[in-house]
């Protein structure tokens, strides 16, 4: 790979010309799959990751953007999960300091008992994290709370509890992980859909059939180990292994509304630990806007583009309106996005989704297909480590030590200026700035031509959506603005990808149609 340039055609060639077998083949390019592939390649295994759409197209670009110990898991008494997530939060901040920011949160307190409860609870949160805590939590007076978060309701306010957690950019991390896998000698390719499993003489998964959806060509790929990391779609792959496999995952939808900073102008984030229906609500500053969410609604068949439900939108608008001085209305929403949590299906009876464990689960089918479900972005590295330990054990391979706790992720850079609109490129920012000519495609979202070119040449972007949803975050930050710039983006991309005018038209039509779903009418 010359100066970070990634040629997808070359990668596809490596998939099919591998001449023999891959040691580890991972299906799914979200947090789980990327974490596993990075763990495998850094242990020295010949590693391939296949993603049917784009990296992080699924749940992994639709999170609340928190690298967190999980305050609410503490409330549920799951101390082991909080401890594990706190360790991983610290490791991620150490290895990707260009993407993970130490974020202060304030819980506004409206009663004496809440003051006691949240002060003790958040002190316990610090204590569990130990030396990996990002900072001490502290009770602050009513006056200081109002100075820090002037946009919250002041009536009845007693004070606030300030604590620290991590905040990140989810799809940028996914891309940087794919780049790191490739730099370590592995192959990670997008738009490669696994359509079937290949079986060995004893029915063990021995590879896959994969369709390059860009070219419409299908290939057989051999592998010693096949790992299913397809999030809410794991049951599709499990049924390729065993057509009558039991359902192992349930999907719980969470949505977010993106609002202009004027609704919550603080640099601190707002955390409401218990909304009137017992959920947690966050308002988190993100790329100059504010992300408000989330919900937790069990849904039926999973979709790659989940649609927010009216009742979810109403819930967030109402709850945010109950705490913020300026009440948001539908017309104020810049973008709405929905994601599906892949939760391990509970063994018996229906549970509330809030109560289903958020820790990950590794399963090995009787034929030997490895599957991972559950977990969260914050613990993606540990999920990879646990999976590769299971693989080595089951395959009888010598146990290798993990390398990832100290592995720097592509883009690693220290001392970030978070107000720099290009901060999330980390060590790549200087090169991109050097190619920029001062013309903004979107001045509001700070997107220029050099970024679009870079997304295609260095970050494997193939479609307008790849650039506007996941290389930059335009679609999630301001869906109308992303529609306004889609033609210019498509035209720049076509020049590099050798595509014609028809491609530009098709791409713009496809993207604009999708972006309409992120707009509230
Ligand atoms: C609303 C919400 C908020 C969240 N907030 C946070 C948060 O703030 N912090 C945190 O730590 N975690 C958070 N999480 C959890 C976290 O986002 C998820 O646990 C994580 O992203 C799941 O990643 P995954 O790789 O398992 O699934 P996905 O990201 O969905 O990835 C699975 C991938 O597999 C691909 N795939 C499926 N079938 C095939 C096939 N046949 N061939 C090839 N590829 C295939 C899909 O296209 C998809 O890209 C949140 C989740 C939700 C829903």
CA distance 84 to 92: 12
User: Cα–Cα distances in Å, from 350 out to 295, 298, 357?
Assistant: 18, 10, 13
Q: Where are the beta strands (DSSP E) in 287-354?
A: 289-293, 297-299, 335-344
Please report, rounded to a whole number, the percentage of residues in the chain having pLDDT higher than 70. 97
pLDDT (tens digit per residue) in 143-173 = 999 999 999 999 999 999 999 999 999 999 9
Ligand 1: centre distance to CA 83 (Å) = 22
Mutation pick for ligand 1 pocket among 257, 376, 380 (CB with most ligand atoms within 8 Å): 376
Q: Where are the beta strands (DSSP E) in 351-484?
A: 361-364, 370-373, 440-442, 447-448
For the chain, the farthest-separated pair of C-alpha atoms sits apart, in whole angstroms, at 72
pLDDT (tens digit per residue) in 460-498 = 999 999 999 999 999 999 999 999 999 999 999 999 999
Question: What pTM did the predictor assign?
Answer: 0.97
Q: Is the CB of 375 under 6 A from ligand 1?
A: yes
Atom of ligand 1 nearest to the CA of 255: 1
Name the H helices within 141-188: 142-148, 170-183
Q: What is the pairing mode between strands 249-260 and 335-344?
A: antiparallel
> Residue 366, Cβ neighbours under 10 Å: how many?
10
Do residues 467 and 507 lie in contact, with contact meaning Cβ atoms separated by under 8 Å?
no
Query: What pLDDT is stored for residue 274 in this prediction?
Result: 87
User: Residue 17 — pLDDT band, cuts 50, 70, 90?
Assistant: confident
Query: What pLDDT is stored for residue 347 in this prediction?
Result: 66
Residue 110 CA, distance from chain mean position? 33
Checking if the pLDDT of 279 tops 80, the result is yes
Residue 136 CA, distance from chain mean position? 27
SS3 at position 239: helix
Q: Look at residues 184, 67, 176 and name the one whose alpha carbon lies nearest to residue 429.
A: 176
Ligand 1: centre distance to CA 183 (Å) = 23
Enumerate the β-bridge partners of residue 226: 25
Q: Integer distance in angstroms from the first to the last C-alpha of the chain?
A: 45
CA distance 289 to 478: 9
Q: Mean pLDDT of all residues in the chain?
A: 94
CA distance 338 to 340: 7
Buried b (16+ CB within 10 A) or exposed e, 431-457: ebeeeeeeeebbeebbbbbbbbbbbbb
User: Cα–Cα distances in Å, from 418 out to 191, 421, 444?
Assistant: 32, 8, 17
Query: What pLDDT is stored for residue 358 in this prediction?
Result: 64
Checking if the pLDDT of 364 tops 70, the result is yes
User: Residue 275 — pLDDT band, cuts 50, 70, 90?
Assistant: confident
Cβ contacts of 123 within 8 Å, gap of 6 or more: 137
Mutation pick for ligand 1 pocket among 12, 26, 27, 28 (CB with most ligand atoms within 8 Å): 28
Query: What pLDDT is stored for residue 50 in this prediction?
Result: 98
Query: What pLDDT is stored for residue 199 in this prediction?
Result: 97
Q: Is 89 exposed, middle or buried (0-12, 13-18, 19+ CB in 10 A)?
A: buried
CA distance 295 to 284: 15
SS3 at position 136: coil
Residue 50 CA, distance from chain mean position? 17
Lookup result for tokens 């592998």: 223
Atom of ligand 1 nearest to the CA of 252: 53
Query: What pLDDT is stored for residue 3 in this prediction?
Result: 75
Q: Is the CB of 53 under 6 A from ligand 1?
A: yes
Checking if the pLDDT of 264 tops 60, the result is yes
């Amino acid at each position: 790979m010359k100066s970070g340039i990634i040629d997808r055609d070359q990668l596809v060639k490596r998939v099919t010309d591998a001449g023999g077998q891959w040691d580890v083949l991972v299906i799914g390019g979200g947090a789980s799959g990327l974490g596993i592939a990075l763990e495998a390649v850094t242990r020295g295994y010949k590693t391939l990751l296949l993603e049917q759409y784009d990296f992080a197209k699924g749940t992994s670009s639709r999170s609340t953007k928190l690298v967190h110990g999980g305050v609410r898991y503490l409330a549920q008494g799951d101390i082991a999960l909080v401890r594990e997530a706190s360790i991983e939060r610290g490791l991620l901040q150490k290895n990707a300091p260009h993407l993970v920011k130490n974020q202060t949160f304030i819980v506004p307190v409206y009663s004496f008992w809440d003051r006691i409860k949240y002060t003790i609870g958040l002190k316990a949160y610090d204590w569990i994290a130990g030396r990996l805590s990002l900072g001490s939590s502290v009770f602050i007076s009513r006056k200081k709370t109002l100075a820090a978060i002037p946009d919250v309701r002041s009536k009845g306010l007693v004070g606030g509890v300030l604590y620290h957690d991590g905040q990140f950019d989810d799809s940028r991390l996914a891309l940087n992980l794919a780049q790191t896998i490739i730099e370590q000698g592995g192959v990670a390719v997008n738009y490669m859909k696994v359509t079937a499993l290949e079986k060995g003489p004893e029915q063990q998964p021995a590879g896959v059939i994969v369709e390059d959806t860009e070219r419409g060509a299908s290939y057989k790929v051999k592998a010693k180990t096949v790992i299913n990391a397809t999030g809410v779609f794991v049951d599709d792959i499990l049924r390729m292994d065993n057509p009558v496999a039991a359902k192992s995952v349930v999907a719980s939808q969470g949505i977010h509304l993106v609002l202009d900073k004027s609704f919550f102008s603080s640099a601190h984030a707002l955390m409401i630990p218990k909304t009137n229906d017992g959920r947690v609500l966050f308002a988190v500053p993100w790329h100059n806007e504010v992300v408000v969410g989330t919900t937790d609604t069990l849904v039926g068949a999973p979709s790659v583009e989940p649609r927010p439900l009216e009742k979810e939108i109403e819930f967030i608008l109402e709850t945010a309106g109950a705490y913020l001085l300026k009440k948001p209305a539908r017309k104020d929403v810049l973008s709405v996005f929905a994601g599906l949590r892949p939760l391990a299906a509970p063994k018996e009876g229906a549970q509330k989704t809030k109560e289903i464990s958020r820790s990950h689960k590794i399963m090995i089918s009787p034929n030997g297909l490895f599957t991972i479900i559950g977990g969260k972005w914050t613990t993606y590295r540990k999920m990879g480590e646990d999976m590769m330990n299971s693989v080595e054990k089951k395959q009888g391979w010598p146990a290798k030590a993990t390398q990832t706790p100290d592995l720097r992720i592509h883009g690693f850079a220290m001392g970030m200026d978070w107000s720099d609109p290009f901060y999330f490129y980390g060590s790549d920012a200087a090169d991109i700035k050097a190619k920029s000519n001062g013309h903004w495609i979107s001045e509001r979202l700070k997107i220029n031509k050099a970024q679009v070119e870079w997304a295609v040449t260095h970050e494997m972007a193939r479609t307008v959506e790849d650039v506007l949803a996941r290389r930059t975050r335009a679609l999630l930050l301001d869906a109308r603005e992303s529609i306004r710039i889609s033609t210019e983006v498509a035209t720049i991309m076509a020049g590099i990808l050798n595509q014609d005018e028809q491609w530009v038209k098709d791409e713009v039509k496809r993207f604009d149609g999708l972006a309409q779903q992120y707009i509230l009418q």
